[in-house]
A = this chain, B = another copy of it.
Amino acid sequence: MITIEFTILGLLSVRPMTGYDIKKMITGSSVLYWSGNNNQVYTSLGKLHQKEWVTQEIELRTTGPSRKIYSISKKGQEELKKTLLSEPEFPQLIHPFLIQLAWADQLDEDEISTLLAKYEEEMQLQVSMLQIMAQQNNIAPSGKIRDSYINPLLARTSREAIIWTKIQENWIAFYQNELKWVRELRYALNYAQEGKEK
C-alpha cells in the first residue's frame, strides 16, 4: 500500500533530507495528495527511524535551530523495493461537483450555467498552470532548476525522465479531460434549451 511512509522513503531514496524539506515537497505537489502537515511528516519520520528504515544525522548549527537530516537505510531500501513491486492500487476520484450537479435540476438555467462556468474557468486555469510548468520544464524564473520531486530534468536515468514526464502528463490530461467534459455539458444544456424555445 502506498502510504505517506512509503512516500517519504521514496523521497529519501533520491537524496537525504530534513523533515522540513519533505514537508515542502509534499505540500508543493498535487500528486503527493497529503497536506504535508507537520504532525504527519514528523511523526512518520519518527516511526521510520524507530523501524530503522531511515538514519538520522543531527546537524547542530550555530545559526538557527538544529536540523535532523534523514537518509534511507539499507533496510529502508529493501522495504521500498518491496512496496514498489506490490500490486498497483487504482485511482480514487473524489468529485463533489458531480454530486452537486446530480440534483441541480432544481436550479434554473442561469444558476446551473453560472456553476458550470465557474467550474470551466477553474479547470482551464489548472490546465494552463500545469502546462506552463511542464513547458518551462520546471526551470524557475531565476534559471535555477526547481527542486520539486519528479522534475524530469533532475531524473537520474533516461527511463526515469520518461516516467516523471508521463506522471506530469497524467495530471494535465486529467484536467484537460474535465475541461472537455464541462464544455460538452454546457453545450448539451444550451442546445436543449434552444430546442425548447423554438
Interface, chain A (partner B; CB < 8 A): 1-2, 6-7, 10, 13-14, 30-33, 80-81, 83-107, 111, 115, 118-119, 122-123, 126, 149-150, 155-160, 162-164, 166-167, 169-171, 173-174, 177-178, 180-181, 184-185, 188-189, 192
Contact of A105 among B97, B157, B177 (CB under 8 A): B157
Given contacts A95-B91, A169-B181, contact A13 B162 (CB under 8 A): no
Interface of A is mostly: helix
**How long is the Cα–Cα vector from A123 to B88 in the complex, in angstroms?**
11
Q: Is the CB of B90 within 8 A of A31?
A: no
Q: Is the CB of B188 within 8 A of A166?
A: yes
Copies of this chain, complex-wide, total 2
Q: Is the CB of A99 within 8 A of B31?
A: yes
Task: Name which of A10, A96, A192 has the most chain B CB atoms within 10 A of its CB.
Answer: A96
A62 CB → nearest B CB, Å: 36
Given contacts A99-B31, A102-B149, contact A173 B162 (CB under 8 A): no
Q: Is the CB of B192 within 8 A of A166?
A: no
> Quick one: closest B residue to A184, CB to CB?
B166
**How long is the Cα–Cα vector from A86 to B185 in the complex, in angstroms?**
19
> Quick one: closest B residue to A168, CB to CB?
B98
Q: Is the CB of A105 within 8 A of B189?
A: no
Q: Is the CB of B107 within 8 A of A167?
A: no
Given A86-B100, A177-B177, list of 16 further CB < 8 A pairs? A84-B104, A88-B118, A88-B122, A90-B97, A90-B119, A91-B93, A91-B94, A91-B178, A93-B171, A101-B167, A105-B155, A105-B157, A162-B192, A169-B184, A170-B181, A173-B180
